[in-house]
Amino acid sequence: MIEKRIITEIESLMLANHSIWTVGVTDNPAELKQEHKNPRHWRQLDAGTEEVAKKIEQHFLDKGCKNGSGGGENANYVYIF
């Protein structure tokens, strides 16, 4: 399942240090990356659907990540930095 794969991939990057990371969903990751001033540790993953992306985002918000805003009409990308 894509949701579990993405969560596992993000967890491996965070190394359980959730509070220093920002997470969000977007339909335009390139534009949003620029808005956030091109963070060095930017990572974006295509969750396939907005519903799955929002579940992943909520998973990490519940673990203490900061909310990064974003959104759009079909926000199927999850991003972290």
3-state secondary structure 18-72: HHHCEEEEECCHHHHHHHCCCCCCCEEEECCCHHHHHHHHHHHHHCCCEEEEEEC
**CA–CA distance, 18 with 64 (Å, rounded to integer):** 6
Q: What was the pLDDT predicted at 15?
A: 87
Q: What was the pLDDT predicted at 14?
A: 92
Q: What was the pLDDT predicted at 71?
A: 83
pTM above 0.85, yes or no: yes
Ramachandran angles phi, psi of 80, nearest 5°: -140, 155
Q: What was the pLDDT predicted at 72?
A: 86
Over the chain (81 residues), the average pLDDT of each successive run of 10 is 96 91 96 94 97 97 92 93 96
